[in-house]
Amino acid sequence: MDYLLYILIFLIGALCGSFIALAVYRIPLKQDITHSRSYCPECKHKLGFLDQIPIFSYIFLRGKCRYCKKKISPTSFFIEILTGVIFVLFAASIRLSLFNITTSIFIYFVVGIIYLTILLIIAGIDKKNIMVDKSALIIGFICVTAYMIHLYIVERPIDVGMYRYVIYLVLACFLVLFSVIYLKRKGKDSYTIDILMFSIFIILYTYEAVYIYTVMITLIAIAIQLIMHSIVKRKKNSKYVKGIKIEDSKIPIGFYMGVANIMALLITNFTMFYI
């Protein structure tokens, strides 16, 4: 019976992946992501129900818009598949099963997929725009805080003190206020402050040990990117590669942190629940 459960989880992941792709595209453009219907980016025609079925619509339509017949970017298709796979891996990492599921594990799983969804939205936006979306971060803080309150009211764990969460939340609130009120009033924005807030969000859900692994993987990824840029720069012996100025290229730290945190979380869960 568990294979049916995991098929359902994959489909839920694909549905969330469709929303993630929508959010990554619309949020930087200041467009609504909850009430406005999806549309073709080429002809702007609003899509029907059969045009928006995750994964299957792209396959049946052969990667083309039903209305203008122009090719659709496969980005959403790959995001839907990737999110479905990540959700399945997350469920497997905590040994989710219909035969031994408990209320505690089920709540952890639900909060986990919400966390992963927010993480992927932030990472996707950062990769394209080098910015950490504050609205997604604030929603993430609210969800994680609600989960922590649930833990201490219902489950009452004794291994970690409540003060830990209070300190991080106070620090996060200070950074949010500083970024939204002071920097916005000055007409400035700080990517460093945003990354700090993103780091606190990661720590609150995955704890300090997983965050350390996240930072390590992130630094390795950034080092590889810098090395690759250096190699390409020397090989081309030019400031431009395919029209992109290498010297001006920025590193999407939030993207690397998001991907690294997913890897670290899955590895940690597999280690804890299986070994």
Residue 227 placed within a domain:
no
Residue 111 placed within a domain:
no
Percent of the chain at pLDDT > 90 equals 40
Residue 273 placed within a domain:
no
For the segment 122-162, what is each residue's pLDDT rounded down to a tens digit?
A: 999 999 899 998 889 999 999 988 888 888 777 665 555 67
Residue 72 placed within a domain:
yes
Residue 234 placed within a domain:
no
Residue 94 placed within a domain:
yes
pLDDT tier at 184, thresholds 50, 70, 90: low
Residue 3 placed within a domain:
yes
* Domain that includes residue 41, residue range: 1-101
For the segment 97-112, what is each residue's pLDDT rounded down to a tens digit?
A: 988 788 888 999 999 9
Average pLDDT, integer, range 192-213: 91
State the total domains in the chain: 1
Rounded to whole angstroms, how far apart are CA atoms 42 and 206? 40
Residue 93 placed within a domain:
yes
Rounded to whole angstroms, how far apart are CA atoms 155 and 175? 30
Above 50 in pLDDT, residue 47?
Answer: yes
